Copies of this chain bind each other. A is one copy, B any other.
Amino acid sequence: MSHTLGIRQAQKQKTRQALMDSALQLLEHQSLSSLGLREVTRAVGMAPAAFYRHFTGTADLGVALVEQALGSLHDTIRAAIVTTGSSEERIDRAVALIAAQVRTHPAHVRFIARERHGGVAPVREAIGVQLRAFGDEVAEALGADPESAGWPPEDVRMLAGVYVDHMVMTASALLEGDEGSEEAVLATARAQLRLVTLGRHHWLD
């Protein structure tokens, strides 16, 4: 599949990426429904009309951004679930993973948090699909865990939903707080996961 693509295609993908990067930067201080097509092209330094060579409109660009922000995260998350160790260690690793993701890709995280309930329906839908996919994958991983033996599948899926929601909440909490409060947010996140883990241990009592 990785056949070398021509100079032309390569250049097109490059400017497409430039459009997405500039858009992501502009979205730091506004939401997608107010992002102008001209605004993006101006930031990249090209004519407005050229935008249409890559996207049908800003909504389309938003969907592409969702793909980029969440598409590559599936394997990472799946791997995080199946790590071994005590509950405490696994919680630490999961929270550290979220913190790392927020630190390395803050703009992507902000975009997802902002547009998850934002005003652009296709983008909302795309994020919903991705998060539901995360939930399914986490549920599958949890189902394989011996601790989930005897659990009804819908309860496993419910628990997976808690983990995914908590991940999103923690990520956006990290963005909102000033950088000094990072450790406090992470400590709360760990405590919350401990609470859930405790409930999980006694679910079938």
Q: Say whether A128 faces chain B, with CB atoms less than 8 Å apart.
A: yes
Q: Cβ of A165 and Cβ of B169 under 8 Å apart?
A: yes
Chain B neighbourhood of A33, CB < 8 A: 30-31, 33-34
Contacts A33-B34, A114-B117, A116-B117 hold; do A199 and B195 have CB atoms under 8 A apart? yes
Determine the interface band of chain A, counting residues with CB < 8 A from chain B: 35 or more
Q: Given the complex of chains A and B, what is the CA–CA distance between A165 and B118 in angstroms?
A: 18
Tell me, yes or no, whether A10 is within 8 Å of chain B by CB: no
A162: B residues at CB distance < 8 A: 192, 195
Stretch from A60-68, A74-82, A153-161 contacting the other chain: A153-161
* Cα of A194 to Cα of B198 in the assembled complex, Å: 12
B188 near A198: Cβ-Cβ < 8 Å: no
3 tightest A-B contacts by CB?
A199-B199, A34-B34, A31-B119
Given A124-B176, A198-B198, 15 more A-B residue pairs with CB atoms under 8 Å apart are: A30-B33, A30-B119, A31-B32, A31-B33, A31-B118, A33-B34, A110-B117, A113-B117, A114-B117, A114-B118, A158-B191, A161-B188, A165-B169, A199-B199, A199-B202
7 CB-based A-B contacts, threshold 8 Å: A114-B117, A158-B195, A161-B192, A162-B195, A195-B199, A196-B199, A198-B203
